[in-house]
């Protein structure tokens, strides 16, 4: 039998689930564990300080209303936050009770959090008294800003974390901020956007962007010239240090060692570190464990492959910035066929514009197709049932598996009926074969689905627009 605090939180989750999208619920509420219930005060456990701050910033109103509904107007919510207190050696997570920082329903106005370093700050022996901070060229690309970084579901969380760091460098729980993801997904852009924002809005801070290869090269030159102390001194003066592609520190023991000490000094003195990598810290190989443990102190966030809508937005933003008009069908064709990363997407667009300019011709769908063929290889020109299912499911943001299940939820039923409708329109499959692809349904179900879609096309303008949009996506995939 469940305890009372578990039942109360379970009821809260039912309400919360109806008020936010599925992905947000899985990310921010499923990891929470109810701990205890004292009178009208419910204590919940969250995985990290960042997790706690995100809940308080984005879901405090929803939490307040939900708790009040379950426990009355005098209800209180307290947090228990799991903190990693390792200082070079692995230790078990330490659990502490944290009173809420909101007044009224949430009680007190204070949050008491232990810092990672409890020892007194060590004075930097390389700082000469009276020496002014040297001028440092930030090495930032001024074009990499938050305004030019297109937000989508693939990067929304990372961008929000980046903005939080930009507004309060060294003053959040996300230190270091580790951004990881595949090639061309915008890691360097986001990291530099943080630096550029700080330069504009906090001019007293010294910002430096450097690739891991450049850092290593500088260090080796310092050893050769016997001025390692100057190298360390230089990096210890930086307020916001951005290191790109830290995976290239692998197998470089001396570089890792020197970066470990620079990292410690900056972190202990409240300076901000921003790191990018092509994989999560836990997946980095040939890296010292003590360095990996420090990478995990702050926040690790990933950038994923951009979805269709984000790819469209990226293309439109670039076209607008260049003052170029392009037929919507061409934009859709590029976004439909270039899916791997943003760099390739922009590369295709640049190639199309270049060909149109050099050959003095209009930007047409035929020109786009001839250009794109050099970037991607199509296995077939035939529209398949699998492709139709995926296109429809991407549009409705539902899993393909749901088309084959007996669920009667409207969202899934509509996606299934439209998939059957397009399967009949665009493929040579028999009604029986189409039904088989949708969980073994018979031909009469396919006929009914097609008729239902036609009826809605005739009577529902919004539905008709959705059908037209899906037709374009399917046809542009050829």
CATH number at residue 405: 1.10.1750.10
Helix (H) / strand (E) containing 96 = strand 94-98
Question: Looking at the domain assignment, is residue 116 inside a domain?
Answer: no
Single out the residue in 317, 341, 372 at which a domain terminates: 372
Is residue 246 domain-shared with residue 169, that is, in the same domain? Answer: yes
What is the rounded end-to-end Cα distance, in angstroms, of the chain? 56
Q: Given the structure tokens 């080796």, which residue do they identify?
A: 220
The pLDDT, as a whole number, for residue 357 is: 76
User: Which CATH number characterizes residue 217's domain?
Assistant: 3.40.50.300
Residues 163 and 289 in one domain: yes
Give the separation between CA 235 and CA 260, rounded to whole angstroms.
12
User: What is the predicted pLDDT for the residue at 187?
Assistant: 92
Task: Indicate whether 190 and 265 sit together in one domain.
Answer: yes
Indicate if 289 and 312 belong to the same structural domain: no
**Residues 340 and 412 grouped into a single domain:** no
**Is 124 contained in some domain?**
no
Q: Beta 299-303 vs 94-98: how paired, if at all?
A: unpaired
CA pseudo-torsion sign 332, 185, 306, 378: positive
Alpha carbon distances (Å) from 191 to 218, 247, 275: 21, 16, 8
Q: Quick check: is 148 in a domain?
A: no
**Quick check: 190 and 162 in contact, CB under 8 A?**
yes
Query: What's the confidence (pLDDT) of residue 375?
Result: 65
CATH code at position 327 = 1.10.8.60
Is residue 90 domain-shared with residue 224, that is, in the same domain?
no
Q: Where in the sequence is the domain holding 217, given as residue range(s)?
A: 156-303
- Inter-CA distances, 448 with 391, 402, 441, Å: 21, 19, 11
3-state DSSP percent of the chain in helix, strand and coil, to 5: 50, 10, 35
Q: Indicate whether 180 and 287 sit together in one domain.
A: yes
Check whether residue 240 and residue 211 sit in a common domain.
yes
Cis peptide bond N-terminal to 329, omega within 30:
no
Distance CA 77, CA 61 (A): 12
Split into its structural domains, the chain has a count of 4
Cα(33)–Cα(27) distance, integer angstroms? 13
For residue 97, the model assigns a pLDDT of 40
In this structure, are 163 and 295 located in the same domain? Answer: yes
Residue 391 is assigned to a structural domain of this protein: yes
Establish if 125 belongs to a structural domain.
no
How much is the pLDDT for 94?
36
Same domain, residue pair 390 and 326: no
Same domain, 321 and 296: no
Q: Identify the helix (H) or strand (E) that includes residue 393.
A: helix 385-396
> Is the same domain home to 418 and 443?
yes
**Predicted local confidence at residue 410, as pLDDT:** 84
Q: Provide the pLDDT for residue 380.
A: 40
- The whole-angstrom separation of Cα 433 and Cα 406 is 18
Whether 138 is in a domain gets the answer: no
Does some domain include residue 242? yes
pLDDT tens per residue, the chain (478 residues)? 678 889 999 999 998 888 887 767 887 888 899 999 988 889 998 877 767 777 877 788 888 889 988 888 888 888 888 754 444 433 333 333 443 433 333 332 223 222 222 233 323 323 333 334 445 678 898 989 998 888 888 888 899 999 999 999 988 889 899 999 888 888 999 999 999 999 999 888 889 999 998 899 888 888 888 888 888 888 888 999 999 999 999 888 899 999 998 998 898 888 999 999 988 888 888 888 888 888 888 899 988 888 888 888 888 888 877 777 787 888 888 888 787 778 888 888 888 888 777 777 778 887 888 777 766 654 345 678 888 998 899 888 888 888 888 888 888 899 999 999 998 888 878 888 898 888 888 888 989 999 999 889 888 888 888 888 888 788 766 5
Q: Which of 303, 323, 353 is the last residue of a domain?
A: 303
Domain-located, residue 436 = yes
Tell me the pTM.
Answer: 0.52
Last residue of a domain, one of 106, 129, 147: 106
Residue 53: CATH number of its domain: 3.30.300.180
């Amino acid at each position: 039998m469940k305890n009372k605090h578990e039942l109360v939180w379970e009821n809260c989750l039912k309400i919360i689930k109806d008020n936010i999208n599925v992905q947000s619920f899985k990310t921010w509420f499923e990891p929470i564990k109810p701990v205890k219930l004292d009178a009208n005060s419910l204590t919940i456990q969250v995985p990290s300080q960042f997790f706690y701050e995100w809940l308080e910033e984005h879901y405090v109103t929803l939490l307040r209303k939900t708790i009040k509904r379950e426990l009355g107007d005098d209800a209180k919510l307290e947090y228990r936050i799991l903190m990693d207190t390792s200082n070079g050696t692995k230790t078990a997570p330490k659990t502490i009770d944290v009173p809420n920082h909101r007044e009224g329903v949430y009680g007190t106005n204070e949050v008491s959090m232990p810092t990672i370093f409890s020892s007194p700050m060590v004075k930097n022996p390389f700082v000469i008294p009276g020496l002014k901070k040297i001028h440092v060229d930030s090495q930032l690309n001024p074009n990499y800003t938050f305004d030019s970084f297109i937000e989508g579901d693939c990067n929304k969380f990372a961008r929000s974390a980046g903005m939080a760091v930009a507004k309060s460098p060294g003053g959040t729980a996300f230190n270091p901020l580790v951004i990881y993801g595949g090639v061309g997904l915008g890691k360097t852009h986001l990291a530099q956007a943080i630096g550029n924002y700080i330069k504009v809005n906090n001019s007293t801070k010294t910002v430096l962007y450097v690739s891991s290869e450049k850092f290593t090269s500088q260090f080796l030159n310092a050893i050769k010239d016997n001025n390692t102390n100057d190298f360390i001194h230089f990096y210890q003066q930086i307020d916001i240090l951005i290191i790109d592609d830290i995976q290239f520190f692998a197998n470089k023991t001396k570089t890792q060692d020197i970066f470990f000490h620079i990292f410690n000094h900056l972190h202990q003195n409240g300076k901000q570190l921003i790191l990018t990598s092509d994989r999560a810290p836990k997946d980095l190989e040939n890296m010292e464990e003590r360095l990996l443990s420090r990478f995990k102190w702050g926040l690790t966030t990933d950038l994923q492959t951009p979805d269709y809508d984000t790819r469209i937005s990226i293309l439109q933003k670039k076209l607008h910035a260049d003052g170029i008009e392009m037929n919507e069908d061409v934009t859709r064709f590029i976004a439909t066929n270039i899916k791997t990363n943003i760099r390739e997407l922009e590369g295709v667009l640049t190639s199309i514009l270049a060909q149109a300019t050099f050959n003095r011709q209009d930007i047409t769908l035929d020109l786009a197709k001839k250009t794109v063929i050099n970037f991607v290889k199509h296995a077939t020109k035939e529209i398949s049932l699998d492709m139709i299912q995926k296109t429809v499911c991407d549009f409705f943001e539902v899993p393909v598996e749901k088309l084959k299940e007996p669920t009667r939820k409207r969202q899934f039923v509509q996606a299934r009926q439209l998939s059957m409708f397009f399967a009949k329109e665009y493929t040579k499959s028999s009604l029986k074969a189409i039904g088989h692809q949708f969980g073994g349904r018979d031909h009469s179900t396919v006929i009914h689905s097609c008729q239902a879609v036609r009826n809605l096309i005739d009577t529902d303008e919004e539905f008709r627009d959705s059908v037209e949009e899906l037709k374009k996506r399917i046809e542009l995939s050829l």
